Amino acid sequence: MNALTDLPPFLVHYSAQGTDEWKRARAGVITASMFKTARERVGGLTAQQAELVAAIRAGMAMEAAAAKAGYKTKPKLTETVQRAIDGLPVGGFSEAAKNYAFRLAIERISNEPLDEGFETWAMKRGHELEPMARAAHEQHADLVVDPCGFVTTVDNAFGASADGLISSSGGAEYKCLVDPLRLRTALIDNDISDFMDQVQGGMWITGRTWWDFCIYCPALAGIGRDFTRWRVPRDDNYINTMETELLEFKHLVDRNEAALRGITQEHT
């Protein structure tokens, strides 16, 4: 089955990753690789409160959730904590999020990437190694990965550079990491949480139910560790929270664009 059939509505931009066409398609679009930045807040929950909220949202009763989070007495549900339990954003946008929103507003107006599509060495390396990572994935998992390019929501507000789509229910993300910390965290600690917004974001946009997150590291080929794969299932609770926060971030981009165009827009 072609991976692009029988899916919830989304748009596919077939330009290869790294090309000028691909860069222009991304201009002004909130992309999955930046979802984590877009969701950054300051003045929000403490680490203990965040653990409490996560446990409650996972279905735990208050008493059990409080014990898991290390509370000695019944926790006080402040307005901020209750908003988080309800899946609503808490705190204000970080400076990184504000700067990203402003950049997107300019790109919406110009229809061009503000950085003129600047590509770091690591990004260039990733694009060059992607075909090899895809081939290793197909051999490792005995499946066919359809190259996809850039996919967006129908309103072109959100997008993801999906490295591949698999049958009608899966997708793929390849990382060719060179940062020792990120490699150690993933390969030794088995922790890929740093990439979860991007992975769940791909499933959110495409409607897929699972995503293969893969690390391709040719330097480890000598010990058979050049390719590592995690099958990540769709997490609708995670996606619902992420969607709420991303929509709030989109409103920030909208307000920036309106201000640049000299349009009065009511703040929400």
Tell me the pLDDT tens digit for each residue of 171-222. 999 999 999 999 999 999 999 999 999 999 999 999 999 999 999 999 999 9
- Rounded to two decimals, the pTM is 0.80
Could you please report the per-residue DSSP string of 195-208? GHHHHHHHHHHH--
Q: Is residue 26 part of a domain?
A: yes
Give 91 or 140, the one with higher predicted confidence.
Answer: 140
Is the pLDDT at 117 greater than 70, yes or no? no
Q: Which residues lie across from 158 on neighbouring strands?
A: 30
Is the pLDDT at 17 greater than 90, yes or no? no
Q: Is residue 110 part of a domain?
A: no
Q: If you average pLDDT over residues 154-163, what whole number do you get?
A: 92
84 residue type, one letter: A
Q: What is the reported pLDDT for 7?
A: 43
The count of domains in the chain is 1
Q: Is residue 230 part of a domain?
A: yes
**15-19, 64-68, 112-116: which has the minimum mean pLDDT?**
15-19
Is the pLDDT at 126 greater than 80, yes or no? no
Q: Which residues contact 132 (CB under 8 A, 6 or more apart)?
A: 216, 218
Residue 234's CATH number? 3.90.320.10
Q: Is residue 112 part of a domain?
A: no
Closest CA to 46 of 54, 38, 57, 56: 54
- Strand ranges of the sheet holding 150-152, from the earlier edge strand across to the other edge: 11-13, 150-152, 158-160, 30-31
pLDDT class of 4 with cuts at 50, 70, 90: very low
Closest CA to 40 of 97, 90, 88: 97
Q: Is residue 252 part of a domain?
A: no
Q: Is residue 80 part of a domain?
A: no
Q: Is residue 146 part of a domain?
A: yes
Q: Is residue 254 part of a domain?
A: no
Q: For residue 158, what are the domain limits?
A: 11-32+119-241
Percent of the chain surpassing pLDDT 70: 93
Q: What is the reported pLDDT for 229?
A: 98
Q: How many CB atoms lie within 10 A of CB 202?
A: 28
